[in-house]
Chains A and B, each alone.
Chain A
Protein backbone atom coordinates (compact mmCIF):
# COMPACT_ATOMS: atom_id res chain seq x y z
CA UNK A 1 0.00 0.00 0.00
CA UNK A 2 2.82 2.35 0.81
CA UNK A 3 4.26 2.01 -2.69
CA UNK A 4 1.24 3.80 -4.06
CA UNK A 5 2.05 6.90 -2.09
CA UNK A 6 5.44 7.09 -3.75
CA UNK A 7 3.69 7.98 -6.98
CA UNK A 8 3.08 11.61 -7.67
CA UNK A 9 -0.32 10.85 -9.12
CA UNK A 10 -2.20 8.51 -6.79
CA UNK A 11 -4.74 6.40 -8.61
CA UNK A 12 -7.76 4.57 -7.33
CA UNK A 13 -6.33 1.12 -6.92
CA UNK A 14 -8.95 0.02 -4.47
CA UNK A 15 -11.68 -0.26 -7.01
CA UNK A 16 -9.38 -2.06 -9.47
CA UNK A 17 -8.28 -4.55 -6.86
CA UNK A 18 -11.84 -5.18 -5.77
CA UNK A 19 -13.00 -5.80 -9.30
CA UNK A 20 -10.71 -8.80 -9.61
CA UNK A 21 -12.92 -11.77 -8.83
CA UNK A 22 -11.84 -14.65 -6.63
CA UNK A 23 -10.14 -17.33 -8.64
CA UNK A 24 -10.26 -20.98 -7.68
CA UNK A 25 -6.95 -21.54 -5.97
CA UNK A 26 -5.22 -24.78 -6.92
CA UNK A 27 -3.03 -26.65 -4.49
CA UNK A 28 -0.53 -24.01 -3.34
CA UNK A 29 2.41 -26.37 -3.69
CA UNK A 30 2.00 -26.64 -7.44
CA UNK A 31 4.17 -24.18 -9.37
CA UNK A 32 2.16 -22.07 -11.79
CA UNK A 33 4.61 -22.74 -14.62
CA UNK A 34 6.86 -25.74 -15.10
CA UNK A 35 9.48 -25.83 -17.81
CA UNK A 36 10.62 -29.39 -18.47
CA UNK A 37 13.61 -30.44 -20.55
CA UNK A 38 13.13 -27.60 -22.99
CA UNK A 39 15.06 -27.49 -26.24
CA UNK A 40 14.69 -24.99 -29.04
CA UNK A 41 16.53 -25.22 -32.33
CA UNK A 42 16.13 -22.65 -35.08
CA UNK A 43 16.73 -23.94 -38.56
CA UNK A 44 19.00 -21.91 -40.77
CA UNK A 45 20.93 -22.35 -44.01
CA UNK A 46 24.16 -23.29 -42.26
CA UNK A 47 22.79 -26.00 -40.00
CA UNK A 48 20.77 -24.90 -37.02
CA UNK A 49 21.05 -22.86 -33.86
CA UNK A 50 20.22 -24.49 -30.56
CA UNK A 51 19.24 -21.76 -28.16
CA UNK A 52 18.81 -24.05 -25.17
CA UNK A 53 19.03 -27.72 -24.53
CA UNK A 54 17.36 -29.52 -21.65
CA UNK A 55 16.36 -26.39 -19.77
CA UNK A 56 14.15 -26.95 -16.75
CA UNK A 57 12.69 -24.46 -14.30
CA UNK A 58 9.79 -24.10 -11.88
CA UNK A 59 8.02 -20.81 -11.36
CA UNK A 60 6.05 -20.26 -8.19
CA UNK A 61 2.69 -18.53 -8.13
CA UNK A 62 2.82 -14.82 -7.28
CA UNK A 63 6.55 -14.55 -7.95
CA UNK A 64 8.16 -11.76 -9.94
CA UNK A 65 10.75 -13.57 -11.98
CA UNK A 66 13.20 -11.73 -14.19
CA UNK A 67 15.17 -13.43 -16.94
CA UNK A 68 18.50 -11.82 -17.74
CA UNK A 69 21.53 -12.84 -19.74
CA UNK A 70 23.96 -11.79 -22.46
CA UNK A 71 22.52 -10.68 -25.78
CA UNK A 72 21.41 -13.54 -28.00
CA UNK A 73 21.13 -16.03 -25.12
CA UNK A 74 17.44 -16.68 -25.85
CA UNK A 75 15.72 -14.63 -23.13
CA UNK A 76 12.91 -13.55 -25.42
CA UNK A 77 12.73 -16.98 -27.02
CA UNK A 78 12.16 -18.55 -23.62
CA UNK A 79 9.34 -16.10 -22.94
CA UNK A 80 7.78 -16.78 -26.36
CA UNK A 81 7.90 -20.51 -25.64
CA UNK A 82 6.26 -20.10 -22.25
CA UNK A 83 3.55 -17.94 -23.84
CA UNK A 84 2.72 -20.57 -26.44
CA UNK A 85 3.44 -18.15 -29.30
CA UNK A 86 6.29 -20.45 -30.32
CA UNK A 87 6.59 -24.18 -29.85
CA UNK A 88 9.59 -26.01 -28.40
CA UNK A 89 11.64 -28.50 -30.40
CA UNK A 90 11.70 -30.87 -27.44
CA UNK A 91 10.36 -30.77 -23.92
CA UNK A 92 7.23 -29.15 -22.60
CA UNK A 93 5.82 -26.26 -20.66
CA UNK A 94 3.09 -26.76 -18.12
CA UNK A 95 0.78 -23.95 -17.08
CA UNK A 96 -1.31 -24.88 -14.05
CA UNK A 97 -0.39 -28.48 -14.76
CA UNK A 98 -1.53 -28.40 -18.37
CA UNK A 99 0.78 -28.59 -21.38
CA UNK A 100 0.96 -25.35 -23.35
CA UNK A 101 0.38 -25.94 -27.07
CA UNK A 102 -1.11 -22.58 -28.04
CA UNK A 103 -1.39 -19.24 -26.20
CA UNK A 104 -3.46 -20.28 -23.16
CA UNK A 105 -6.14 -18.26 -21.44
CA UNK A 106 -4.76 -16.62 -18.32
CA UNK A 107 -1.43 -15.62 -19.82
CA UNK A 108 -0.85 -12.37 -21.68
CA UNK A 109 2.32 -11.36 -23.48
CA UNK A 110 3.37 -7.70 -23.43
CA UNK A 111 5.64 -6.96 -26.37
CA UNK A 112 8.84 -4.96 -26.45
CA UNK A 113 7.72 -3.25 -29.66
CA UNK A 114 4.66 -1.52 -28.24
CA UNK A 115 4.37 0.70 -31.34
CA UNK A 116 3.71 -2.46 -33.35
CA UNK A 117 1.55 -4.16 -30.75
CA UNK A 118 -0.85 -1.31 -30.01
CA UNK A 119 -3.81 -0.96 -32.40
CA UNK A 120 -3.24 2.43 -34.02
CA UNK A 121 -6.82 2.60 -35.35
CA UNK A 122 -8.28 2.33 -31.86
CA UNK A 123 -8.35 5.03 -29.22
CA UNK A 124 -6.87 4.38 -25.78
CA UNK A 125 -10.17 3.17 -24.36
CA UNK A 126 -10.91 1.08 -27.46
CA UNK A 127 -7.50 -0.57 -27.21
CA UNK A 128 -8.16 -1.52 -23.60
CA UNK A 129 -11.65 -2.68 -24.53
CA UNK A 130 -10.12 -5.13 -27.00
CA UNK A 131 -8.51 -6.97 -24.10
CA UNK A 132 -11.78 -7.14 -22.22
CA UNK A 133 -13.89 -8.31 -25.16
CA UNK A 134 -11.27 -10.88 -26.13
CA UNK A 135 -12.14 -12.70 -22.91
CA UNK A 136 -15.89 -12.39 -22.62
CA UNK A 137 -18.85 -10.40 -23.86
CA UNK A 138 -19.93 -7.49 -21.73
CA UNK A 139 -22.48 -4.74 -22.09
CA UNK A 140 -21.30 -1.43 -23.50
CA UNK A 141 -21.80 0.37 -20.20
CA UNK A 142 -19.98 -2.22 -18.11
CA UNK A 143 -17.14 -2.37 -20.64
CA UNK A 144 -16.64 1.39 -20.47
CA UNK A 145 -16.59 1.34 -16.68
CA UNK A 146 -14.09 -1.50 -16.47
CA UNK A 147 -11.86 0.10 -19.10
CA UNK A 148 -11.84 3.38 -17.17
CA UNK A 149 -10.72 1.55 -14.03
CA UNK A 150 -7.73 0.03 -15.77
CA UNK A 151 -6.91 3.25 -17.59
CA UNK A 152 -6.81 4.93 -14.18
CA UNK A 153 -4.67 2.10 -12.84
CA UNK A 154 -1.93 2.77 -15.40
CA UNK A 155 -2.24 6.53 -14.91
CA UNK A 156 -3.81 7.47 -18.23
CA UNK A 157 -6.96 9.13 -16.91
CA UNK A 158 -8.05 11.87 -19.29
CA UNK A 159 -6.47 10.22 -22.34
CA UNK A 160 -9.33 7.78 -23.06
CA UNK A 161 -10.18 9.20 -26.46
CA UNK A 162 -6.65 9.81 -27.76
CA UNK A 163 -5.29 7.84 -30.67
CA UNK A 164 -1.90 6.15 -30.15
CA UNK A 165 -0.11 8.56 -32.52
CA UNK A 166 -1.01 11.35 -30.11
CA UNK A 167 0.73 9.63 -27.19
CA UNK A 168 4.37 9.32 -26.12
CA UNK A 169 6.14 5.96 -26.14
CA UNK A 170 5.76 5.47 -22.39
CA UNK A 171 2.05 6.19 -22.61
CA UNK A 172 1.62 3.73 -25.47
CA UNK A 173 3.25 1.00 -23.39
CA UNK A 174 0.91 1.89 -20.51
CA UNK A 175 -2.01 1.32 -22.88
CA UNK A 176 -0.60 -2.11 -23.78
CA UNK A 177 -0.22 -2.93 -20.10
CA UNK A 178 -3.78 -1.87 -19.31
CA UNK A 179 -5.04 -3.89 -22.28
CA UNK A 180 -3.24 -6.95 -20.87
CA UNK A 181 -4.31 -6.41 -17.24
CA UNK A 182 -8.00 -6.05 -18.02
CA UNK A 183 -7.97 -9.73 -19.05
CA UNK A 184 -7.12 -10.48 -15.40
CA UNK A 185 -4.30 -12.81 -16.41
CA UNK A 186 -2.70 -15.12 -13.88
CA UNK A 187 0.62 -14.62 -15.61
CA UNK A 188 1.90 -11.50 -17.31
CA UNK A 189 4.82 -12.06 -19.68
CA UNK A 190 6.80 -8.91 -20.31
CA UNK A 191 9.49 -8.87 -22.97
CA UNK A 192 11.87 -5.96 -22.35
CA UNK A 193 8.83 -3.71 -22.00
CA UNK A 194 10.75 -0.58 -21.08
CA UNK A 195 13.82 -0.88 -23.29
CA UNK A 196 12.51 1.67 -25.76
CA UNK A 197 11.56 4.47 -23.37
CA UNK A 198 13.75 7.12 -21.74
CA UNK A 199 15.35 6.58 -18.32
CA UNK A 200 12.88 8.68 -16.32
CA UNK A 201 9.83 7.12 -17.94
CA UNK A 202 11.38 3.72 -17.30
CA UNK A 203 11.76 4.42 -13.58
CA UNK A 204 8.12 5.50 -13.39
CA UNK A 205 6.89 2.48 -15.34
CA UNK A 206 8.95 0.17 -13.12
CA UNK A 207 7.17 1.52 -10.08
CA UNK A 208 3.87 1.12 -11.86
CA UNK A 209 4.50 -2.55 -12.63
CA UNK A 210 5.79 -3.12 -9.10
CA UNK A 211 2.64 -1.60 -7.66
CA UNK A 212 0.37 -3.61 -9.95
CA UNK A 213 2.17 -6.80 -8.99
CA UNK A 214 1.61 -6.01 -5.30
CA UNK A 215 -2.06 -5.20 -5.80
CA UNK A 216 -3.25 -7.87 -8.21
CA UNK A 217 -3.00 -11.64 -7.78
CA UNK A 218 -0.55 -11.98 -10.60
CA UNK A 219 2.71 -13.73 -11.51
CA UNK A 220 5.11 -11.74 -13.66
CA UNK A 221 7.81 -13.08 -15.96
CA UNK A 222 10.01 -10.22 -16.99
CA UNK A 223 12.74 -10.32 -19.63
CA UNK A 224 15.27 -7.54 -19.48
CA UNK A 225 18.88 -6.78 -20.37
CA UNK A 226 19.04 -4.25 -17.55
CA UNK A 227 20.43 -5.92 -14.41
CA UNK A 228 19.47 -2.99 -12.16
CA UNK A 229 15.90 -3.18 -13.36
CA UNK A 230 15.80 -6.93 -12.70
CA UNK A 231 17.20 -6.63 -9.17
CA UNK A 232 14.91 -3.73 -8.35
CA UNK A 233 11.72 -5.47 -9.45
CA UNK A 234 12.15 -9.19 -8.89
CA UNK A 235 11.70 -11.76 -6.18
CA UNK A 236 13.89 -14.09 -8.20
CA UNK A 237 16.33 -13.74 -11.08
CA UNK A 238 17.24 -16.42 -13.59
CA UNK A 239 20.40 -15.58 -15.45
CA UNK A 240 20.87 -17.44 -18.72
CA UNK A 241 24.36 -18.26 -19.91
CA UNK A 242 25.70 -17.98 -23.42
CA UNK A 243 23.60 -19.37 -26.27
CA UNK A 244 22.87 -23.03 -25.63
CA UNK A 245 24.36 -23.19 -22.14
CA UNK A 246 21.14 -22.93 -20.14
CA UNK A 247 20.66 -21.37 -16.72
CA UNK A 248 23.88 -19.88 -15.35
CA UNK A 249 22.50 -18.54 -12.07
CA UNK A 250 19.23 -18.71 -10.21
CA UNK A 251 19.15 -16.07 -7.50
CA UNK A 252 16.37 -15.29 -5.02
CA UNK A 253 16.09 -11.55 -4.35
CA UNK A 254 15.15 -10.96 -0.75
CA UNK A 255 15.30 -7.17 -0.70
CA UNK A 256 12.62 -5.73 1.56
CA UNK A 257 9.29 -4.78 0.10
CA UNK A 258 7.82 -2.28 -0.71
CA UNK A 259 10.71 -1.17 -2.79
CA UNK A 260 11.56 2.38 -3.62
CA UNK A 261 13.46 3.76 -6.58
CA UNK A 262 15.80 5.72 -4.32
CA UNK A 263 15.97 3.83 -1.02
CA UNK A 264 16.13 0.33 -2.51
CA UNK A 265 18.81 1.26 -5.00
CA UNK A 266 20.90 2.71 -2.17
CA UNK A 267 20.66 -0.52 -0.15
CA UNK A 268 24.09 -2.28 0.06
CA UNK A 269 22.40 -5.62 -0.66
CA UNK A 270 21.03 -4.16 -3.89
CA UNK A 271 24.52 -3.09 -4.94
CA UNK A 272 25.99 -6.44 -4.05
CA UNK A 273 23.41 -8.43 -6.03
CA UNK A 274 23.70 -6.08 -8.94
CA UNK A 275 27.50 -6.32 -9.04
CA UNK A 276 27.45 -10.07 -8.84
CA UNK A 277 24.88 -10.58 -11.62
CA UNK A 278 26.32 -7.87 -13.79
CA UNK A 279 29.76 -9.38 -13.43
CA UNK A 280 28.67 -12.84 -14.50
CA UNK A 281 26.86 -11.55 -17.58
CA UNK A 282 29.66 -9.19 -18.49
CA UNK A 283 32.20 -11.99 -18.48
CA UNK A 284 30.02 -14.12 -20.76
CA UNK A 285 29.30 -11.21 -23.05
CA UNK A 286 33.07 -10.71 -23.46
CA UNK A 287 33.67 -14.41 -24.10
CA UNK A 288 30.99 -14.29 -26.75
CA UNK A 289 32.57 -11.27 -28.36
CA UNK A 290 36.03 -12.79 -28.59
CA UNK A 291 34.63 -16.20 -29.55
CA UNK A 292 32.55 -15.05 -32.49
CA UNK A 293 33.19 -11.49 -33.54
CA UNK A 294 29.58 -11.05 -34.57
CA UNK A 295 26.49 -9.78 -32.74
Chain B
Protein backbone atom coordinates (compact mmCIF):
# COMPACT_ATOMS: atom_id res chain seq x y z
CA UNK B 1 0.00 0.00 0.00
CA UNK B 2 2.76 2.42 0.94
CA UNK B 3 4.36 2.06 -2.49
CA UNK B 4 1.16 3.02 -4.26
CA UNK B 5 1.08 6.67 -3.18
CA UNK B 6 2.45 8.00 -6.52
CA UNK B 7 -0.54 6.46 -8.26
CA UNK B 8 -3.01 8.03 -5.87
CA UNK B 9 -1.19 11.33 -6.15
CA UNK B 10 -1.66 11.25 -9.91
CA UNK B 11 -5.43 10.79 -9.49
CA UNK B 12 -5.57 13.78 -7.17
CA UNK B 13 -3.49 15.82 -9.66
CA UNK B 14 -5.79 14.94 -12.56
CA UNK B 15 -8.89 15.87 -10.55
CA UNK B 16 -7.24 19.13 -9.52
CA UNK B 17 -6.35 19.92 -13.13
CA UNK B 18 -9.92 19.14 -14.16
CA UNK B 19 -11.27 21.46 -11.44
CA UNK B 20 -9.02 24.34 -12.56
CA UNK B 21 -9.59 23.74 -16.29
CA UNK B 22 -13.33 23.83 -15.80
CA UNK B 23 -13.17 26.85 -13.50
CA UNK B 24 -10.96 28.78 -15.95
CA UNK B 25 -13.24 27.68 -18.83
CA UNK B 26 -10.32 26.00 -20.67
CA UNK B 27 -12.86 23.28 -21.28
CA UNK B 28 -16.60 23.68 -21.65
CA UNK B 29 -17.92 23.79 -18.06
CA UNK B 30 -21.37 22.66 -19.21
CA UNK B 31 -20.10 19.37 -20.66
CA UNK B 32 -17.31 19.02 -18.10
CA UNK B 33 -18.52 20.55 -14.83
CA UNK B 34 -16.09 21.23 -12.01
CA UNK B 35 -15.13 18.24 -9.86
CA UNK B 36 -16.47 19.97 -6.76
CA UNK B 37 -19.86 20.44 -8.46
CA UNK B 38 -19.90 16.75 -9.46
CA UNK B 39 -19.00 15.79 -5.89
CA UNK B 40 -21.86 17.79 -4.39
CA UNK B 41 -24.38 16.38 -6.90
CA UNK B 42 -23.01 12.93 -6.10
CA UNK B 43 -23.74 13.44 -2.43
CA UNK B 44 -27.14 14.88 -3.41
CA UNK B 45 -28.13 11.85 -5.51
CA UNK B 46 -27.05 9.51 -2.76
CA UNK B 47 -29.00 11.40 -0.11
CA UNK B 48 -32.19 11.67 -2.20
CA UNK B 49 -31.92 7.95 -2.97
CA UNK B 50 -31.92 8.06 -6.76
CA UNK B 51 -28.36 6.71 -7.10
CA UNK B 52 -28.64 3.86 -4.54
CA UNK B 53 -31.95 2.90 -6.18
CA UNK B 54 -30.15 2.55 -9.50
CA UNK B 55 -27.24 0.51 -8.16
CA UNK B 56 -29.44 -2.21 -6.69
CA UNK B 57 -30.99 -3.53 -9.91
CA UNK B 58 -27.64 -3.48 -11.73
CA UNK B 59 -25.92 -5.50 -8.99
CA UNK B 60 -28.82 -7.94 -8.92
CA UNK B 61 -28.62 -8.52 -12.71
CA UNK B 62 -24.87 -9.05 -12.54
CA UNK B 63 -25.13 -11.42 -9.59
CA UNK B 64 -27.83 -13.59 -11.16
CA UNK B 65 -26.37 -13.60 -14.68
CA UNK B 66 -22.83 -14.27 -13.47
CA UNK B 67 -24.00 -16.86 -10.94
CA UNK B 68 -26.02 -18.80 -13.52
CA UNK B 69 -23.14 -18.64 -15.99
CA UNK B 70 -20.77 -20.10 -13.38
CA UNK B 71 -23.22 -22.84 -12.46
CA UNK B 72 -23.53 -23.92 -16.07
CA UNK B 73 -20.09 -23.18 -17.54
CA UNK B 74 -18.00 -24.85 -14.81
CA UNK B 75 -19.67 -28.30 -14.94
CA UNK B 76 -19.87 -28.15 -18.74
CA UNK B 77 -16.23 -27.11 -18.96
CA UNK B 78 -15.20 -29.96 -16.65
CA UNK B 79 -17.05 -32.42 -18.87
CA UNK B 80 -15.62 -30.91 -22.06
CA UNK B 81 -12.14 -31.13 -20.60
CA UNK B 82 -12.39 -34.72 -19.44
CA UNK B 83 -14.63 -36.41 -22.02
CA UNK B 84 -13.47 -36.06 -25.60
CA UNK B 85 -16.88 -36.75 -27.08
CA UNK B 86 -18.44 -33.91 -25.07
CA UNK B 87 -15.59 -31.69 -26.23
CA UNK B 88 -16.13 -32.65 -29.87
CA UNK B 89 -19.86 -32.03 -29.47
CA UNK B 90 -19.64 -28.54 -27.98
CA UNK B 91 -16.36 -27.18 -29.26
CA UNK B 92 -17.57 -26.09 -32.77
CA UNK B 93 -20.68 -24.31 -31.51
CA UNK B 94 -18.65 -22.65 -28.76
CA UNK B 95 -16.09 -21.37 -31.23
CA UNK B 96 -18.84 -20.04 -33.49
CA UNK B 97 -20.95 -18.28 -30.85
CA UNK B 98 -18.09 -17.00 -28.71
CA UNK B 99 -16.78 -14.23 -31.01
CA UNK B 100 -20.21 -12.58 -31.33
CA UNK B 101 -20.35 -9.60 -28.91
CA UNK B 102 -23.11 -10.35 -26.46
CA UNK B 103 -24.53 -6.83 -26.88
CA UNK B 104 -25.51 -7.96 -30.38
CA UNK B 105 -28.04 -10.30 -28.78
CA UNK B 106 -29.86 -7.49 -27.01
CA UNK B 107 -32.35 -6.84 -29.88
CA UNK B 108 -33.19 -10.55 -30.07
CA UNK B 109 -33.39 -10.82 -26.31
CA UNK B 110 -35.84 -7.90 -26.24
CA UNK B 111 -38.09 -9.75 -28.73
CA UNK B 112 -38.22 -12.85 -26.58
CA UNK B 113 -37.80 -11.59 -23.05
CA UNK B 114 -39.01 -7.98 -23.11
CA UNK B 115 -37.08 -5.06 -21.66
CA UNK B 116 -37.04 -6.04 -18.02
CA UNK B 117 -34.77 -8.05 -15.76
CA UNK B 118 -35.06 -11.30 -17.73
CA UNK B 119 -33.54 -9.78 -20.85
CA UNK B 120 -30.65 -8.17 -18.99
CA UNK B 121 -29.88 -11.22 -16.92
CA UNK B 122 -29.88 -13.32 -20.08
CA UNK B 123 -27.44 -11.00 -21.85
CA UNK B 124 -25.12 -10.86 -18.82
CA UNK B 125 -25.33 -14.65 -18.56
CA UNK B 126 -24.42 -15.11 -22.21
CA UNK B 127 -21.46 -12.75 -21.93
CA UNK B 128 -20.17 -14.55 -18.81
CA UNK B 129 -20.52 -18.13 -20.02
CA UNK B 130 -17.77 -18.25 -22.61
CA UNK B 131 -14.74 -16.95 -20.68
CA UNK B 132 -15.58 -19.33 -17.81
CA UNK B 133 -16.23 -22.27 -20.13
CA UNK B 134 -13.05 -21.71 -22.11
CA UNK B 135 -10.83 -21.33 -19.06
CA UNK B 136 -12.41 -24.32 -17.33
CA UNK B 137 -11.84 -26.79 -20.11
CA UNK B 138 -8.39 -25.54 -20.97
CA UNK B 139 -7.60 -25.80 -17.25
CA UNK B 140 -8.77 -29.41 -17.20
CA UNK B 141 -6.81 -30.26 -20.32
CA UNK B 142 -3.70 -28.80 -18.73
CA UNK B 143 -3.79 -31.17 -15.74
CA UNK B 144 -0.71 -33.37 -15.50
CA UNK B 145 -1.43 -37.02 -16.40
CA UNK B 146 0.41 -38.11 -13.24
CA UNK B 147 -2.32 -36.48 -11.15
CA UNK B 148 -5.02 -38.35 -13.06
CA UNK B 149 -3.08 -41.62 -12.73
CA UNK B 150 -2.81 -40.99 -8.99
CA UNK B 151 -6.60 -40.99 -8.80
CA UNK B 152 -6.71 -44.17 -10.88
CA UNK B 153 -4.22 -46.10 -8.72
CA UNK B 154 -6.31 -45.26 -5.65
CA UNK B 155 -9.31 -46.65 -7.49
CA UNK B 156 -11.59 -43.65 -7.04
CA UNK B 157 -14.70 -43.48 -9.22
CA UNK B 158 -14.80 -41.20 -12.23
CA UNK B 159 -17.24 -38.82 -10.58
CA UNK B 160 -15.20 -38.70 -7.39
CA UNK B 161 -12.02 -37.97 -9.35
CA UNK B 162 -13.84 -35.17 -11.20
CA UNK B 163 -14.91 -33.59 -7.93
CA UNK B 164 -11.83 -34.11 -5.78
CA UNK B 165 -9.00 -34.02 -8.33
CA UNK B 166 -10.04 -32.40 -11.61
CA UNK B 167 -12.02 -29.54 -10.08
CA UNK B 168 -9.40 -28.38 -7.55
CA UNK B 169 -6.57 -28.87 -10.04
CA UNK B 170 -8.26 -26.61 -12.58
CA UNK B 171 -9.53 -24.11 -9.99
CA UNK B 172 -6.82 -21.49 -10.72
CA UNK B 173 -7.85 -21.47 -14.37
CA UNK B 174 -11.57 -21.46 -13.53
CA UNK B 175 -11.13 -18.45 -11.25
CA UNK B 176 -9.24 -16.57 -13.97
CA UNK B 177 -12.22 -17.14 -16.29
CA UNK B 178 -14.61 -15.96 -13.60
CA UNK B 179 -12.63 -12.78 -13.02
CA UNK B 180 -12.68 -11.95 -16.73
CA UNK B 181 -16.44 -12.61 -16.84
CA UNK B 182 -17.10 -10.44 -13.84
CA UNK B 183 -15.47 -7.48 -15.58
CA UNK B 184 -17.46 -8.10 -18.75
CA UNK B 185 -20.72 -8.51 -16.82
CA UNK B 186 -20.65 -4.90 -15.58
CA UNK B 187 -20.08 -3.58 -19.11
CA UNK B 188 -22.87 -5.67 -20.60
CA UNK B 189 -25.36 -4.88 -17.83
CA UNK B 190 -24.82 -1.13 -18.28
CA UNK B 191 -25.14 -1.33 -22.09
CA UNK B 192 -28.37 -3.34 -21.80
CA UNK B 193 -29.78 -0.83 -19.31
CA UNK B 194 -28.97 2.06 -21.65
CA UNK B 195 -30.71 0.39 -24.57
CA UNK B 196 -33.93 -0.59 -22.88
CA UNK B 197 -35.79 -0.31 -19.60
CA UNK B 198 -36.01 2.31 -16.90
CA UNK B 199 -33.85 1.13 -14.03
CA UNK B 200 -30.22 0.49 -13.18
CA UNK B 201 -27.09 2.60 -13.19
CA UNK B 202 -26.83 2.47 -16.99
CA UNK B 203 -30.30 3.97 -17.32
CA UNK B 204 -29.46 6.53 -14.62
CA UNK B 205 -26.41 7.80 -16.54
CA UNK B 206 -28.28 8.01 -19.86
CA UNK B 207 -31.32 9.64 -18.21
CA UNK B 208 -29.22 12.32 -16.49
CA UNK B 209 -27.55 13.09 -19.81
CA UNK B 210 -30.94 13.40 -21.57
CA UNK B 211 -32.36 15.80 -19.00
CA UNK B 212 -29.08 17.68 -19.05
CA UNK B 213 -28.03 17.08 -15.44
CA UNK B 214 -24.41 16.63 -16.41
CA UNK B 215 -22.92 16.60 -12.85
CA UNK B 216 -25.26 13.73 -11.90
CA UNK B 217 -24.28 11.93 -15.10
CA UNK B 218 -20.62 12.11 -14.09
CA UNK B 219 -21.54 11.02 -10.57
CA UNK B 220 -23.07 7.91 -12.11
CA UNK B 221 -19.95 7.21 -14.17
CA UNK B 222 -17.69 7.57 -11.14
CA UNK B 223 -20.00 5.29 -9.17
CA UNK B 224 -19.44 2.65 -11.84
CA UNK B 225 -15.68 3.05 -11.45
CA UNK B 226 -15.87 2.51 -7.71
CA UNK B 227 -18.32 -0.37 -8.12
CA UNK B 228 -16.04 -2.14 -10.59
CA UNK B 229 -13.03 -1.64 -8.37
CA UNK B 230 -14.85 -2.99 -5.31
CA UNK B 231 -16.19 -6.06 -7.12
CA UNK B 232 -12.71 -6.91 -8.43
CA UNK B 233 -11.14 -6.30 -5.02
CA UNK B 234 -13.57 -8.63 -3.31
CA UNK B 235 -13.06 -11.27 -5.98
CA UNK B 236 -9.27 -11.11 -5.61
CA UNK B 237 -9.65 -11.56 -1.86
CA UNK B 238 -11.84 -14.63 -2.39
CA UNK B 239 -9.43 -15.97 -5.00
CA UNK B 240 -6.48 -15.51 -2.68
CA UNK B 241 -8.28 -17.49 -0.01
CA UNK B 242 -9.34 -20.31 -2.33
CA UNK B 243 -5.84 -20.62 -3.76
CA UNK B 244 -3.99 -20.19 -0.47
CA UNK B 245 -2.33 -23.56 -1.10
CA UNK B 246 -0.34 -22.13 -3.98
CA UNK B 247 1.99 -20.35 -1.62
CA UNK B 248 2.49 -17.26 -3.76
CA UNK B 249 0.37 -14.53 -2.25
CA UNK B 250 -1.83 -12.76 -4.79
CA UNK B 251 -1.48 -9.01 -4.42
CA UNK B 252 -4.85 -7.31 -4.54
Give Cα A164 to B150, complex, Å: 16
CB distance from B83 to the nearest CB of A (A): 18
> If the complex has contacts A116-B144, A121-B168, A163-B245, are A111 and B155 also in contact, measured as CB distance less than 8 A?
no
Residue in A113, A120, A183 whose CB lies within 8 Å of B154: A183
Q: Which of A168-205 contact B (CB under 8 A)?
A: 183
Q: Digit string of B222-252 for contact with A (CB within 8 Å is 1, else 0)?
A: 0000000000000000000000111100000
Interface membership of A89, Cβ < 8 A: no
Output the residue of A103, A120, A121, A135 with the most chain B CB within 10 A. Answer: A121
Interface of B is mostly: helix
B193 CB, min distance to chain A CBs, angstroms: 39
Residues in chain A near residue B146, CB distance under 8 A: 111, 113, 116-117
Cα–Cα, bound, A117→B165 (Å): 11
Q: How far is the CB of A105 from the nearest CB of chain B, in Å?
A: 6
Contact with A along B132-153 (1 / 0, CB 8 A): 0000000000001011011011
How many contacts between A and B, using CB within 8 angstroms? 57
A83/B153 in contact, CB under 8 A: yes
Q: A103-B155, A121-B171, A134-B155 are in contact. Are A111 and B245 (CB under 8 A)?
A: no
Q: Range of interface residues on chain B?
A: 20 to 34
Closest residue of chain B to A118, judged by CB? B150
Query: Once the chains bind, are A105 and B155 in contact (CB under 8 Å)?
Result: yes
| A119 contacts chain B at the CB level, 8 A cutoff | yes
> Min CB distance, B182 to chain A, in Å?
22
In contact, A119 and B168 (Cβ under 8 angstroms): yes
A120, closest chain B residue (CB): B245
Interface residue? B94 (CB, 8 A): no
In chain B, positions 160-191 with a C-beta closer than 8 Å to chain A are 160, 164-165, 168-169, 171
Q: Are A108 and B171 in contact (CB under 8 A)?
A: no
**Is B20 engaged at the interface, CB distance under 8 Å to the other chain?**
no
Does A130 touch B at the CB level, under 8 Å? yes
**Are A165 and B149 in contact, with the CB atoms below 8 A?**
no
With A103-B152, A103-B155, A108-B153 known as contacts, the answer to whether A130 contacts B164 (CB < 8 A) is yes
User: Which residue of chain A has the shortest Cβ distance to B146 in the bound complex?
Assistant: A116
Number of interface residues of A (CB under 8 A): 26
A166 touches B171 (CB 8 A): no
Is A107 close to B, CB under 8 A?
Answer: yes
Is B108 in contact with chain A by the CB < 8 A criterion?
A: no
Q: How far is the CA of A183 from the CA of B245 in the complex (A)?
A: 25
Q: In this assembly, does A85 line the interface, its C-beta being within 8 Å of a C-beta of chain B? A: yes
Q: Give A204-227 as 1s and 0s: 1 = Cβ < 8 Å from B's Cβ atoms.
A: 000000000000000000000000
Q: Is the CB of B149 within 8 A of A134?
A: no
The reply to whether the CB of A131 lies closer than 8 angstroms to some CB of chain B is yes
A154-168 interface code vs B (CB 8 A; 1 in, 0 out):
000000000111100
Q: Is B15 an interface residue (CB 8 A)?
A: no
Task: Find out whether the CB atom of B154 lies under 8 angstroms from the CB atom of A131.
Answer: yes
* Least CB distance, B72 to chain A, in whole angstroms: 24
List, in ascending order, chain B residues with CB within 8 A of A165's CB.
245-247
Given contacts A111-B146, A113-B146, A130-B164, contact A120 B246 (CB under 8 A): yes
Q: Is B43 an interface residue (CB 8 A)?
A: no
A204 vs B168: C-alpha distance when bound (angstroms): 32
Contact B247 A103 (CB under 8 A): no
A64 touches B (CB below 8 Å): no
Identify the interface centre among B146, B147, B155, B165: most chain A CB within 10 Å of its CB: B155
Q: Given A85-B149, A121-B171, A108–B245 Cβ distance below 8 Å?
A: no
Q: Which residues of A contact B150 (CB under 8 A)?
A: 109, 111, 117
Asked if A111 and B154 make an inter-chain contact with CB atoms under 8 angstroms apart, the answer reads: no
- Chain B residue with the shortest CB-CB distance to A122: B245
B37 touches A (CB below 8 Å): no
CB-defined contacts of A183 to chain B, threshold 8 Å: 154
> In the assembled complex, how far is the CB of residue B169 from the closest CB belonging to chain A, in whole angstroms?
8
Residues of A within 8 A of B11 (CB): none
A116–B160 Cα distance when bound, in Å, is: 19
A119 to B156, CA, bound (A): 14
Chain A's nearest CB lies how many Å from the CB of B219? 43
Q: Which 10 interchain pairs have the tightest Cβ spacing?
A: A165-B247, A134-B154, A116-B146, A109-B153, A121-B168, A121-B245, A116-B144, A163-B245, A117-B150, A134-B156
Identify the A interface with B (CB < 8 A): 83, 85, 102-105, 107-109, 111, 113, 116-117, 119-122, 130-131, 134-135, 163-166, 183
Known A-B contacts: A121-B168, A130-B154, A163-B245. Give 5 more (CB < 8 A): A111-B149, A113-B146, A119-B147, A121-B171, A165-B245
7 contacts between A and B (CB under 8 A): A111-B146, A119-B168, A120-B245, A120-B246, A121-B245, A131-B154, A163-B245
